[in-house]
Amino acid sequence: MEVIRILMETVLRRLSSEACLVYLDDIIIVGRTFEEHLNILRKVFQRLQKANIKLSPKKCMFFQKEVTYLGHVISAEGVKTDPEKIKAVVDWLRPETIHDLRSFLGLCIYYRRFVKNFSTTARPLHKLTEAKSKVSC
Whether pTM > 0.85 for this model: the answer is no
Q: How confident is the model at residue 19 (pLDDT cuts 50, 70, 90)?
A: confident
Instruction: Return the DSSP state at 113.
Output: G
Q: What is the mean pLDDT of residues 16-39?
A: 83
Per-residue pLDDT at 132: 59
Q: Looking at the predicted structure, is the pLDDT value of residue 13 above 60?
A: yes
Count of beta carbons in the 10 Å neighbourhood of residue 20? 19
Q: Whole-angstrom Cα distance, residue 45 to residue 19?
A: 13
List, for residues 95-136, the tens digit of each pLDDT value: 999 999 999 999 999 999 999 999 999 999 999 988 655 555
Q: Whole-angstrom Cα distance, residue 81 to residue 102?
A: 20
